[in-house]
């Protein structure tokens, strides 16, 4: 791959649309979906967009995001601790972030969406996948 091809890929943002489903199981609400990703080296930034579908009679909403670079376990540390996951936007039923994927060596990036619901008798479990960042083999400045 030429330097120009790498630079073009690094400036292109790939979209990932991830539907999430909330299901009541006993006194808990489980969130399911496929948020894991394997980002190829030199593939540039990736935008992750999430939408939550609540079961009838219940409203589940996004509350916050925890994230951590170079973390292969879930959950990550509390708070937004990632330099790869940026531009976080949280709305009641949708949320998104960008993954820079510009680390110099491959790394795992762990993230966890936290939720609330309108039934105080139920506890909503978090959704906590891992992204495998391939990173970049060529500095963005183009200087090897």
Q: How confident is the model at residue 11 (pLDDT cuts 50, 70, 90)?
A: low
The neighbour count for residue 121, using CB atoms within 10 Å, is 6
**For the chain, domain boundaries:** 3-133
Per-residue pLDDT band for 10 (boundaries 50, 70, 90) equals very low
Q: Residue 141: its pLDDT value, please?
A: 53
Distance between CA atoms of 88 and 65, rounded to whole angstroms? Answer: 8
Evaluate whether 55 touches 26 at the Cβ level (below 8 Å).
no
pLDDT in tens, 44-91: 999 999 999 999 999 999 999 999 999 998 899 999 999 999 999 999
Per-residue pLDDT of 102-112, as tens digits, reads 999 999 999 99
CATH number of 3-133, picked from 3.40.50.1820, 3.30.1330.10, 3.40.50.300, 2.60.40.420: 2.60.40.420
pLDDT (0 to 100) of residue 7? 43
Q: Is the pLDDT of residue 29 over 70?
A: yes
């Amino acid at each position: 791959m030429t330097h120009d091809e790498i630079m073009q890929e690094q400036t292109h943002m790939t979209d990932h649309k991830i539907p999430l489903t909330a299901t009541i199981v006993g006194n808990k609400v489980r969130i399911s979906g496929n948020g894991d990703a394997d980002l190829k080296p030199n593939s540039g930034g990736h935008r992750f967009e999430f939408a939550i579908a609540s079961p009838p009679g219940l409203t589940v909403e996004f509350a916050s995001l925890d994230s951590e670079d170079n973390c292969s376990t879930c959950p990550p540390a509390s708070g937004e601790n990632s330099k790869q996951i940026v531009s976080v936007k949280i709305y009641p039923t949708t949320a998104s972030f960008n993954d820079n994927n510009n680390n110099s060596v491959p790394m795992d990036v762990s993230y966890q969406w936290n939720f609330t619901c309108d039934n105080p008798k139920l506890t909503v479990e978090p959704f906590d996948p891992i992204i495998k960042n391939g990173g970049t083999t060529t500095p963005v400045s183009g200087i090897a």
